[in-house]
């Protein structure tokens, strides 16, 4: 490991120094580092019988990736009552968690909704309906890392 010696001509805030990163043999502040552009929001390709909630009140279900984090948003419903392992959609490669992740969601009406599980193969499924009779789920606020 090589040592770096710095000579200061004036007082320096150590927090400012700690915030710098060594990139290609030169020091750069985080604001100078290249940031990959975010992906655009992409509509879900629903697995039947799931679909968007009609009427235009709720956001159409979508996903996007920012760096190594995938975000979901929007609400969807099913024509019949949720069952365990019902597949809502399948996320494409590059948008899947390295292992199973699970979340508790809300229904669009604000009540505690069903749990969902997202598998490493991209399946977004209903895990366990919290209350019987649910047919809709709000996925807004669900996010996870794709980094192992």
pTM: 0.71
Indicate the DSSP class of residue 121: T
Distances (CA, A) of 50 to 25, 47, 59: 52, 6, 15
Q: What pLDDT does 67 receive?
A: 92
Asked if pLDDT for residue 121 goes beyond 90, the answer is: yes
Return the half-sphere exposure (C-beta side, CA atoms, 13 A cut-off) of residue 59: 15
Distance CA 128, CA 83 (A): 7
Query: 65-113: per-residue pLDDT in tens?
Result: 999 999 999 999 888 888 888 999 999 999 999 999 999 888 777 778 8
Distance CA 30, CA 102 (A): 32
Distance CA 89, CA 140 (A): 15
Q: What pLDDT does 19 receive?
A: 42
Question: What mean pLDDT comes out for the span 4-16?
Answer: 42
């Amino acid at each position: 490991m090589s040592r770096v010696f710095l000579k200061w001509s004036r007082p320096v805030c150590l927090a400012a120094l700690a915030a710098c990163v060594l990139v290609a043999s030169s020091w750069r502040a985080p604001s100078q580092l290249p940031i990959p552009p975010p992906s655009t929001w992409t509509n879900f390709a629903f697995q039947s019988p799931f679909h968007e909630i009609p009427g235009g009140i709720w956001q159409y279900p979508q996903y996007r990736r920012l760096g190594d984090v995938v975000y979901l948003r929007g609400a969807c419903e099913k024509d019949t009552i949720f069952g365990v392992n019902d597949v809502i959609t399948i996320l494409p490669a590059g948008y899947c968690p390295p292992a199973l992740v699970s979340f508790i969601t809300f229904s669009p009406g604000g009540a505690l909704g069903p749990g969902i599980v997202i598998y490493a193969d991209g399946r977004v499924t209903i895990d366990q309906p919290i209350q019987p009779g649910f047919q809709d789920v709000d996925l807004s606020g669900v996010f996870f890392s794709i980094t192992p």
